[in-house]
Amino acid sequence: MTDAITAEDFSTSSGTEGWEVAAGVASRTFRTGSFAVGVEFVDAIGELADEADHHPDVDLRYPTVTVRLTSHDVGGLSRRDVELARRISEAAAELDIGS
């Protein structure tokens, strides 16, 4: 049994607001406002990713962090991507980071 989902499944899942889906990848750019806050956010994403054993691509720039999620083992999106997207969005909210 696979946990693969469609782009629509991802987009209509609770907690994925603000995330965009294209070509089997969910992405979102967060406006951190500063490089230091971006680093703090990337650290939080790293902890969440290790806990989930599911690792996104993360691009840190001044003043944004872009996150891309996909599940290589299913060739697209999975329920793991939904859960990690939710947790990343929650971490952003805790750090008062917008999109």
Is residue 2 in a domain? no
Is residue 54 situated within a structural domain?
A: yes
Domain count along the chain: 1
Residue 43 lies in a domain: yes
Altogether, the residues listed in the chain come to a count of 99
**Which residue has better confidence, 99 or 51?**
51
The distance of Cα 23 from the centroid of its chain, to the nearest Å, equals 15
Tell me the average pLDDT across 8-14: 97
Q: What's at 79, amino acid-wise? A: R
State the burial class of residue 85 (Cβ atoms within 10 Å of its Cβ: 0-12, 13-18, 19+): buried
Tell whether the model's pLDDT for residue 35 goes beyond 80: yes
Amino acid at 40: E
Q: What is the CATH number of the domain that holds 61?
A: 3.30.1360.20
**Domain assignment of residue 65, given as a range:** 7-94
Instruction: Give me the pLDDT at residue 99, please.
Output: 73
pLDDT tier, 81 (very low <50, low <70, confident <90, very high otherwise)? very high
74 falls within a domain? yes
* pTM strictly above 0.85: yes
In a domain, 99, yes or no: no
